[in-house]
Amino acid sequence: MLQSVPVVSFPTEGLTEHRRRFANRVAAAGDAESAARKKWLRQQTSLASSLGKKQRWEDALALLHLPETTRWRPDIKMLTAVIGALERCSRWAQVLEILHQAELEGLPLDDRSLGLGISSVSKGRCWHEALRLMHLLRRMDTSSRHALGSHNALLSCLDWSGHWEEARDVLALMQREGPQPDVVSCSATISACARATAWPWALWMLSSMRTDGPAPDSVTLGAGIAACDRGQQWQLAICLLHELSVPPTLIAVNSALSACSRGHQWQGAFQLFQLLQSRSLQPDEISFGAASTACIRGREWAKALGLLASVWRQKPPSLLLFTSALRAAQLGGRWQLAVALLEEMHGFSQQPDLAAFNPGLGACVAAGQWSRALELAAQMPEFSLQPDSVTKRLLLQAWVNTHSWQGSLELMSTFG
């Protein structure tokens, strides 16, 4: 028979105490590791915020690549602080890279990180990424639906990117589900419609604001008038200036001036120019340029020259104003003035382009000053100008009338 193996008994009380002590040591080590990680994360988060305030985005970004990151993964608070530093310096590409990496690693993003991401990529006009981040933000059951600033940043991005339909859809979503749009939201959407020549939508939204709110401000007014300008609706532009109880800005009046210029309405442009002066708004080069262009298109060249002369008394003329004056001189048959303007440009360190040179050349040709026209043409290489179709047509007319075929060949050779 087989003998039975004796059972060896161990002291259970000693073993239990050993396990308890070992478990306590493990727990203590885990607690210490957790405490060290929390302390490190707090320090790095605070440091990233401090670096962001000092515009040191490179140093803030470097925090994500410290040796400790192989041991402790940054949490969302630290990432958000780094994103905030990058957002302050408009480093939207780096922000996008961090957010993509966080998504790949399964790190849950919060409304703060997404809001900063939307603001950053919106500054970079990366509208499709801003729209994607907004969808993520709106899926969160937090205060994200009240993140009005993030929505406005997205709408501004869509405005500058020319995506008016997407801007209109975002605004409609805000009206249905929140956050309720403010005047900034509506102004950005109206501006987006203006850029895309969707002026009926812009005016409809402006009308809706007047009845349902929010009340339009001067920025909204400017966006609405810009829409009228793009749509060549000069009558509506003038009506908006007078009907709305909002003081117009220089930008708004300039848009109305441009609308009148497009519509060849020199009388309306002249009245708007007087409105600028009555509202104590200092007209700029755009104001003078649009008003003088309207007068030129209305064949009121004398009024155009009068406007341009008034600005020259205040400050040195730009190339734009020289060009407008040359067009007015050509229209009025004032070839001596046109030649004098081209010569005067040297004194103001302005180099004529073809838009300025051709009216001067045309004024000489129209007045029968063929030789003077050819003398001007001979100066074109000095200004690095190459003749276009208008220049060649004018020169051909001058050459035919002077019967100078040899001079014609010489002049043509200088142009290559």
**How do residues 153-165 score in pLDDT, each as one tens digit?**
999 999 999 899 9
User: How would residue 370 be classed by pLDDT, with cut points 50, 70 and 90?
Assistant: confident
Other CB atoms within 10 Å distance of the CB of residue 333? 12
| Distance separating alpha carbons of residues 86 and 57, to the nearest angstrom | 5
Over the stretch 53-67, which tens digit does the pLDDT of each residue have? 999 999 999 999 888
User: How would residue 43 be classed by pLDDT, with cut points 50, 70 and 90?
Assistant: very high
pLDDT at 378 over 70: yes
φ and ψ at residue 258, rounded to 5 degrees: -65, -40
User: How would residue 1 be classed by pLDDT, with cut points 50, 70 and 90?
Assistant: very low
pLDDT at 130 over 90: yes
User: How would residue 25 be classed by pLDDT, with cut points 50, 70 and 90?
Assistant: low
Q: pLDDT value at position 13? A: 54
| Distance separating alpha carbons of residues 53 and 60, to the nearest angstrom | 10
Q: Mean pLDDT throughout 31-54? A: 88
Over the stretch 214-232, which tens digit does the pLDDT of each residue have? 999 888 988 999 999 888 8
Over the stretch 279-337, which tens digit does the pLDDT of each residue have? 778 888 888 888 888 888 888 888 888 877 877 777 777 888 888 888 888 888 889 98
Residue with tokens 């050993």: 18
Q: Closest Cα partner for 326 from 286, 364, 383, 284?
A: 364
Task: Enter the pTM of the model.
Answer: 0.73
User: How would residue 5 be classed by pLDDT, with cut points 50, 70 and 90?
Assistant: very low
With contact defined as beta carbons under 8 Å apart, do 328 and 308 qualify?
A: yes
| Distance separating alpha carbons of residues 210 and 186, to the nearest angstrom | 12
| Distance separating alpha carbons of residues 161 and 245, to the nearest angstrom | 30
Q: pLDDT value at position 408? A: 55
Residue 177: alpha-carbon gap to chain centroid: 28
| Distance separating alpha carbons of residues 50 and 391, to the nearest angstrom | 61
Q: Mean pLDDT throughout 103-115? A: 90
Helix, strand, coil content of the chain in percent (nearest 5): 75, 0, 25
User: How would residue 8 be classed by pLDDT, with cut points 50, 70 and 90?
Assistant: very low
Percent of the residues in the chain that have a pLDDT greater than 70, as a whole number? 88
Q: Mean pLDDT throughout 125-149? A: 82
pLDDT at 131 over 50: yes
pLDDT at 409 over 60: no
Over the stretch 332-367, which tens digit does the pLDDT of each residue have? 888 998 888 888 887 788 888 899 889 999 999 888
Q: pLDDT value at position 122? A: 93
pLDDT at 143 over 80: no
pLDDT at 412 over 80: no
Q: Mean pLDDT throughout 150-176? A: 93
pLDDT at 277 over 80: no
Q: Mean pLDDT throughout 359-388? A: 87
Q: Would you give the DSSP letter of residue 66?
A: S
* Per-residue buried b or exposed e for 7-33, using 16+ beta carbons within 10 Å of the residue's own CB: eeeeeeeeeeeeeeeeeeeeeeeeeee
| Distance separating alpha carbons of residues 190 and 225, to the nearest angstrom | 10
Q: pLDDT value at position 373? A: 86
Q: Mean pLDDT throughout 30-58? A: 87
| Distance separating alpha carbons of residues 327 and 292, to the nearest angstrom | 10
Least confident among 99-113, 136-150, 219-233: 136-150
Q: Mean pLDDT throughout 175-204? A: 92
User: How would residue 26 be classed by pLDDT, with cut points 50, 70 and 90?
Assistant: low
Q: Mean pLDDT throughout 393-414? A: 66
Q: Compute the Cα dihedral for 272, 277, 278, 279 and give only its sign.
A: positive
**Which tokens go with 123?**
């500054």
Q: What angle do CA 322, 324, 327 make, to 5 degrees?
A: 110
Cβ-Cβ contacts under 8 Å for 323 (sequence gap 6 or more): 353, 355, 356, 359
Q: pLDDT value at position 55? A: 93
| Distance separating alpha carbons of residues 386 and 149, to the nearest angstrom | 50
Percent of the residues in the chain that have a pLDDT greater than 90, as a whole number? 30
Where exactly are the structural domains of the chain?
A: 47-134, 249-313, 316-416
Q: Mean pLDDT throughout 112-116? A: 92
Length of the chain: 416
